[in-house]
A and B are shown apart, each in its own frame.
Chain A
Amino acid sequence: MSLREVVYCGVCSYPPEYCEFTGKLKRCKVWLKENHPDRYNELYGAEDETAEDAAEIDAVGKKLGESSIGEERENKLEKDLLKLQTKQENREQRELAKKLSSKVIIKREARTKRKFIVAISGLEVFEIDMKKLAKTFASKFATGCSVSKNAEKKEEIVIQGDVLEDVETYIHSLLKEKGMENVKVETIDTKKKKKPTTETK
């Protein structure tokens, strides 16, 4: 007697035989095929890849569901699952669109005299842990950095000190890393320096 190793789907985190109920079946299947081809064959058999999606799902449903609940209910279940899948796909598309249409705003605000803060908002769509990012900024620029709520009740990162350019380059590199280069980054400088000649480096 010993413990069993269980494979979990990398897409939906369920054991693979439950993938069909998550509405992400298509992506789950791709993942399973790549990572555990033997399990894939066991579950879905060697199917014709070029088959129409709907037909494919149908076939899977039939294969998995050699069951007792009667043809009528089985059909209904398949229909429901199909519906769930399209719903899920639509949702994913919407989220993607939302991500692409959003933009990061980096804003420099003047405090007293020559002191500035830099506020970054619009980061929440990237599913980055804001607190962690704030911590990175703090250690990177050796300043205070925190997460706070701005006027629109959205989270933003506030960095003490005039680090606008550095932040901008960092955000760009971060986006590149995440593969979201086409996200717009906007910088707002509320108060220009009076004399650019006095710039200290």
Chain B
Amino acid sequence: MFKKFTKDDIHSRSNVKSSVQRTLKTKLVNQYPKLEPVIDELIPKKSQVEIIKCEDKIQLYTVNGEVLFFQQFDELIPSLRLVHKFPEAYPTVQVDRGAIKFVLSGANIMCPGLTSPGAKLPDAPGFEKDSVVIIKAENKDSALAIGRLLMSTDDIKSINKGHGVEMIHHLGDPLWDFTLE
């Protein structure tokens, strides 16, 4: 999603009304219920959320010049910096060490990288297809990418072949390096 992303892709940038900001917050909490205790810390009531509309209908939401989350369609997806601040709140999968290199260069994650001994998938019932997951790595604390499941985690376990997670956002991609002046 952010393979190519530059300042030229920004169409408009505007402040978000406080009422809209409130609905955004509730929406975020609805999507990730565990965020509730810290939501006021993430987006303080007095803060000004900015919306940056970009190419391909991508919208970034920033607070104090930091991209906190973005959306392409209806779903809000947290940015990695937000994930690092509070990693417990999101559904997580883990890849093995051999996969890190490829993930960091933006590849989709293949099933074997998710099922090998170093990797971790949630036990049944697991996550549905198309849900957004945080990708962690073996022996590392922080998340390194965010992706969308191309098949449910149970399927990944049983089929164990082909693309398992579609890459959305990873360490070192243009969104990671993105800063507002």
Task: Say which residue of A1, A13, A18, A65 sits within 8 Å of B104 (CB atoms).
Answer: A18
CB distance from A83 to the nearest CB of B (A): 11
Residue of A nearest to B41 (CB): A3
When the two chains form the complex, which single residue of A1, A17, A74 contacts B141, counting CB atoms closer than 8 Å? A17
- Binary per-residue interface labels of chain A (65-102) against chain B in the complex, 1 for a CB within 8 Å, 0 otherwise: 11111000110010011001000000000000000000
B101 at interface (Cβ–Cβ under 8 A)?
A: yes
Residues of A within 8 A of B97 (CB): 65, 67-69, 74, 77
- B-chain residues with CB within 8 Å of residue A67 when the two chains form the complex: 96-97, 118, 138-139
Give the nearest-CB partner of B87 in chain A: A4
Contact assessment for A6 and B38 in the assembled complex, using a CB-CB cutoff below 8 Å: no
Given contacts A18-B144, A67-B118, A67-B139, contact A6 B104 (CB under 8 A): no
Give Cα A64 to B81, complex, Å.
23
Interface flag for B37 (CB, 8 Å): yes
Cross-chain contact B142 with A18 (CB below 8 angstroms): yes
Chain A: minimal CB distance from B30 (Å): 18
Task: Tell me, rounded to whole Å, the shortest Cβ–Cβ distance linking A49 to chain B.
Answer: 24
Instruction: Kindly list chain B residues whose C-beta atoms are within 8 Å of the C-beta of A73.
Output: 98
A10 within 8 A of B: no
Closest residue of A by beta carbon distance from B140:
A17
Q: Of the candidates B37, B84, B177, which one forms a contact with A6 in the assembled complex, judged by CB atoms under 8 Å apart?
A: B84
Assembly CA distance A77 to B137 (angstroms): 15
Counting CB contacts under 8 A, is B4 at the interface?
Answer: no
Q: A15-B141, A74-B97, A77-B97 are in contact. Are A4 and B118 (CB under 8 A)?
A: no
A14 touches B117 (CB 8 A): no
Cβ of B172 within 8 Å of any chain A Cβ, yes or no, is yes
B42 within 8 A of A: yes
A21 sits at the interface (CB 8 A): yes
Tell me the bound Cα distance from A78 to B137 in angstroms. Answer: 16
- The answer, yes or no, to whether A50 is at the interface (CB within 8 Å) is no
Shortest Cβ distance from B143 into A: residue? A15
A4 (CB) vs chain B CBs: closest residue: B85
B100 proximal to A (CB < 8 A)? yes
CB distance from B130 to the nearest CB of A (A): 27
User: A68, B87: Cβ atoms under 8 Å?
Assistant: no
| B142 & A17 in contact (Cβ 8 Å cutoff) | yes
| Contact indicator B138/A68 (Cβ below 8 Å) | yes
Say whether B177 contacts A80, CB under 8 Å: no
| Contact assessment for A22 and B139 in the assembled complex, using a CB-CB cutoff below 8 Å | no
- Known A3-B42, A68-B117, A74-B97: A14·B171 in contact at CB below 8 Å: yes
Min CB gap A2→B, angstroms: 7
Chain A residues close to B by CB (< 8 Å):
1-6, 12-15, 17-18, 21-22, 64-69, 73-74, 77, 80-81, 84
Q: What 7 additional pairs, Cβ within 8 angstroms, besides A2-B41, A22-B172?
A: A4-B87, A6-B85, A15-B142, A67-B118, A69-B96, A69-B97, A77-B98
Q: What are 5 A-B contacts defined by CB distance under 8 Å? A: A6-B142, A21-B104, A67-B139, A68-B97, A80-B101
Closest 5 CB pairs of A and B: A68-B117, A68-B118, A15-B142, A6-B84, A3-B85
